[in-house]
Every structure is written in C-alpha cells, then in structure tokens.
Amino acid sequence: MTAALSTRARALAQRPVIATVATVDKQGHPQLTPVWIDVDGNDLVFNTAKGRAKHANLERDPHVAVSIVDPDDPYNVVVVRGVAEPEEQGADEHIDALAKKYLGVDSYPMRQPGEVRVKYRVRADRVVMQSDDQ
C-alpha cells in the first residue's frame, strides 16, 4: 500500500533542503547519506552515481527511510519509509535539475568522467509528519 505525501510534506521536499537517506549496508548496519531531494507526483526522488555506497546498498536492499528537517523550523519534519526504485533513463537530466534547484546552475558541476547517474524514486509505505499538516 502506498502512503501519500501531505501538502506540508510535499512543500518541504520541494524546497532546496538537504534530506537524509537511510540505507542498509552489507553488514546490515544503517548508513545515512545527505542528499538533494525532489518530488515527482507522490514520490520523493533523489540521485546518485553507480559505484557509490548508497547505490550498492540499494541494489542489495531497496528499503529506505528519508528524513527532511526544515532548517527554519526544526519541528517541521517529514520522514518517509518505503522502497527506492532505480531509474537510469532521465537520471542525467534529473541531477542537472537538482543542481539548478540547489546551486542555481544549469548543469551538475561535480559530474565525473564516465559516471553513470541513477535516479531513485521512493515509493512510500509510511509518511510521518512531525508538525501539523496545513
């Protein structure tokens, strides 16, 4: 069953706020990674490159938790738990869109030669909003 993002959760994720993604490493330990985040429909989306720990963890186990804390109000918090589905198609354009959102530039400036980008779509099964939805 898919859980829906509230209006307030969606508004927070649409801002250039750093999110934290929790994955599970090969030893079964949690791994936290700060990421740029966006919303597409009812899904949170983030981006990484093949070969990074986050990508390896998600290849093994796609279960994630994503936390977003409003830097202007630390009690405005959303936590989304679900499954991250990889998409290579459109991932380069997606990282460029995130670079525009977070850095104000048209192209992701930290791209490495030969890098293969992957966009992850988080299909939420649980959404918790610490502050009241409005």
Q: What is the pLDDT of residues 2-44, one digit of tens each?
A: 788 999 999 999 999 999 999 999 999 999 999 999 999 999 9
What is this structure's pTM? 0.92
CA dihedral 20, 25, 29, 31 (to 10 degrees): -20
54 found inside a domain: yes
Say if 41 falls within a structural domain.
Answer: yes
- The CATH code of the domain that includes 48 is 2.30.110.10
- Tokens found for residue 31: 């791994």
Does residue 97 belong to any structural domain of this protein?
A: yes
Find out whether 83 and 123 touch, Cβ atoms under 8 Å.
yes
Give the total number of structural domains in the chain: 1
The reply to whether 39 falls in a domain is: yes
Q: What is the DSSP string of 46-112?
A: EEEETTSHHHHHHHH--EEEEEEEETTEEEEEEEEEEEEEEE-TTHHHHHHHHHHHHHS-SS-TTPP
Decide if 51 is inside a domain: yes
Let me know if residue 96 belongs to a domain.
Answer: yes
Q: Is 38 domain-assigned?
A: yes
Dump pLDDT digits (tens) for 65-113. 999 999 999 999 999 999 999 999 999 999 999 999 999 999 999 999 9
Q: How far apart are the first and last CA of the chain?
A: 24
How far is Cα 47 from Cα 37, in angstroms, rounded to an integer? 8
Rounded distance between C-alpha atoms, residue 120 and residue 40, angstroms: 11
In a domain, 31, yes or no: yes
Residue 35 is part of which domain span?
A: 7-129
